[in-house]
Structure 1
Amino acid sequence: MGDSARRQRDRDEDGRARNARPRDALGRPLPPGSVGVERIHEDLHLAPAESLVRAQDLLNRGLAFNAHEVLEGAWKSCPDEERFLWQGLAQLAVGITHVQRGNVKGGVTVLRRAVERIGFDDGDAPYGIDRAGLIAYAEALIEDLEAGGEQTPADLVPRLQTVDHG
């Protein structure tokens, strides 16, 4: 990348990307000045139960990229013993994002990582997170994707919790 392109990127005072560029519903960057979907603030840190409710709402609306951002915020602020679980939830949303964008191979790869993280601990998950259901969902989606199946938007909406713990 040339110096001119580097200077034009939206960076904070430490040189980190600010990701302020508008994005479409699938999280893809749009040209500056475009109108995109509402962005999730990078520093959003909700209570775990609130994160799950917000992420589920975004998944229900087909906004898996935004759900990933909510779940990533929870992962970055969760207790160490929950880290793999929250990483797996965020990866699940990323895998769905890849599928929504038509990147089946990338989606399958990330969904496999999500299954590993979500299933890292086989005990009861906190906050009513449906660990077994999410693993079964992701494994079935992977199998369908590898068989060349067509997914409808409804096929790309996992249920994060067994019951509403909000």
Structure 2
Amino acid sequence: MKENRRDRDDEGRARNARPRDGLGRPLPYGAAGVERQPEGVLRTPEQTVREAQRLLDAGKPFHAHEVFEDAWKSGPDDERALWRGMAQLAVGLTHAARGNTAGGARLLLRGAGGIAAYRRPHGIDVARLMEWARELAGRLDGPVDAADEAPRLM
């Protein structure tokens, strides 16, 4: 009988427990991977920014995206676009580091557009992030080093 490899939570929703590398790519079961970010963590906005910056600096933009996604899903309605845009910036950097230049550029630009309506929420330097995203998107021609390209959020 074929073994079922689909991971499910208690409610039956799909959860992928496969190990992942530092850029979030799935590895074979049993391989040593990078510890994943726990899902559904409630953080203050300041904790979110601090944890995401730590992960970006470590070259783990996929993991930073998960931190922003928690804020997007649990934060106030008037900040959903901010956190979604921040998650898109992190995913854009993830794709760029994986060598998906078209997808990376598209997500960087989408993320920049998503945060454009905000001035300086929670100390986030929106203007600088938008400039960073547009500049990186404009020069992608192959994989980038995620840690070297990590933006400063504040």
Letter in 2 for 1:18: R
Q: Tell me the CA shift for residue 155 of structure 1.
A: 4.3
What's 2:139 paired with? 144
Alpha-carbon distance between aligned partners in 1 of 2:47 and 2:133, rounded to the nearest angstrom: 23
Aligned positions of 1:10-159 closer than 5 A? 10-119=7-116, 121=117, 123-145=118-140, 148=141, 151-159=144-152
- In the aligned structure 2, how far is the partner of 1:13 from the partner of 1:55? 28
The TM-score, its normalising length taken from structure 1, stands at: 0.85
Offset, 1:20: 1.7
Instruction: Give unpaired runs (5+ residues) of structure 2.
Output: none
For residues 44 and 62 of structure 1, the distance between their equivalents in structure 2, rounded to whole angstroms, comes to 21
Q: Distance in 2 between matches of 1:56 and 1:71?
A: 11
CA RMSD of aligned residues (A): 1.7
How big is each residue's C-alpha offset from its partner over 1:121-157, in whole Å with a ceiling of 9 and x where there is no partner?
Answer: 1x52321011100000001011111xx3774445421
Q: Tell me how far 1:15 sits from its aligned partner.
A: 2.5
Runs of 4+ that moved beyond 2 A: 148-155
Q: CA deviation at 1:159?
A: 0.8
1:97 aligns to what SS in structure 2?
Answer: helix
Q: How many pairs align? A: 153
Q: Distance in 1 between matches of 2:146 and 2:38?
A: 25
Q: What is the identity percentage for the equivalent residue pairs of Structure 1 and Structure 2?
A: 52
Higher mean C-alpha displacement, 34-43 vs 93-102: 34-43
